[in-house]
Amino acid sequence: MLQPFLCFFCLGEDGMFISVFRIWSTKMPNFSDLLSVFSVEQLKDISCKWVILGHSERRHVIGEDDQFIGKKAAYTLSQGLGVIACIGELLKEREEGKTFDVCFQQLKAFADAVPSWDNVVISYEPVWAIGTGKVASPQQAQEVHVAVHYWLKKNVSAEVASKTRIIYGGSVNGGKCAGLAKEEDIDGFLVGGASLKFVSSQPLGLICMLGLTLFYASEYTMSLACEMNS
Ligand SMILES: O=C[C@H](O)COP(=O)(O)O
């Protein structure tokens, strides 16, 4: 379950995990990191387990490139957190028949940067489906997932291809996931907007969200105050 604001709550085998997607690429932020919010070290402090990287908002709104995303992935893994590696094409790219090329290029950037795929989940998120209500058809998603598995087998290893989970994101909700879930290569979902309804209906989710918001707001205020006093 992935909230678009401060942090996300992911349901895993052992329960609910925290995940975020605005991280610095190193321990101390450099200029390129200024539009991100968290250091990986902060996330470890709050027992965060996952970082979402390569999300369309970071690629197409903030302007993060493949190399920078790869750098963040490598640093995240080096600190013991897992990476949800997002890939996906724009509508124009799909219409031009470039879906696989775009996804493979984004995958290669992750492959070039990460030392191991043990703690990586790939999320196929067609940009035209994110937050639009236009979910990819099971066939559209399945063919990309199959291609991603094949790419991993050819370019990384058969073992990584068989072990790496590939989830789908883009306007998924309880009603729309049933058909997608039947496809053999779709291993789960990255849920954005629909998770807001879930968390807002869960007392624990609301308390966590409020607590973390207050915590980081006070940290930020303190750091601003320190800067002004120095
Ligand atoms: O950030 C979340 C994913 O990109 C999917 O979002 P969505 O389910 O609102 O389309």
ipTM of this predicted structure: 0.95
Give the pLDDT band (50/70/90) at residue 123: very high
With vertex at residue 25, the alpha carbon angle to CA 1 and CA 190, rounded to the nearest 5 degrees, is 15
Provide mean pLDDT across the span 25-44.
72
In the prediction, which pLDDT does 160 show? 98
Give the pLDDT band (50/70/90) at residue 1: very low
Lowest mean pLDDT among 101-105, 125-129, 201-205: 201-205
In the prediction, which pLDDT does 49 show? 87
Q: How far is the CA of 225 from the centre of ligand 1 (A)?
A: 35
Give the pLDDT band (50/70/90) at residue 52: very high
In the prediction, which pLDDT does 34 show? 62
pLDDT tens for each residue of 164-211:
999 999 999 988 899 999 999 999 999 888 877 765 556 655 565 555
Contacts of residue 27, defined as CB under 8 A and 6 or more positions apart, other chains included, come to: 39, 40, 41
Q: How far is the CA of 170 from the centre of ligand 1 (A)?
A: 5
Q: Is the pLDDT of residue 70 over 60?
A: yes
Ligand 1 atom at minimal distance to the Cα of residue 195:
8
Give the pLDDT band (50/70/90) at residue 3: very low
In the prediction, which pLDDT does 193 show? 86
In the prediction, which pLDDT does 215 show? 53
Provide mean pLDDT across the span 87-94.
98
Provide mean pLDDT across the span 5-15.
55
The binding-site residues of ligand 1, defined as CB within 6 angstroms of any ligand atom, are 2, 4, 125, 130-131, 169-172, 190-194
Q: Is residue 55 among the annotated active site residues? A: yes
Share of the chain above pLDDT 70, in %: 71
In the prediction, which pLDDT does 58 show? 87
Give the pLDDT band (50/70/90) at residue 19: low
With vertex at residue 166, the alpha carbon angle to CA 161 and CA 170, rounded to the nearest 5 degrees, is 155
- What is the set of domains in the chain, with CATH numbers? 8-201 (3.20.20.70)
In the prediction, which pLDDT does 103 show? 98
Q: How far is the CA of 133 from the centre of ligand 1 (A)?
A: 10
CA distance readout (Å), 35 to 46, 62, 63, 64, 209: 21, 8, 10, 10, 21
In the prediction, which pLDDT does 35 show? 64
| C-alpha count within 13 angstroms, C-beta hemisphere, residue 205 | 21
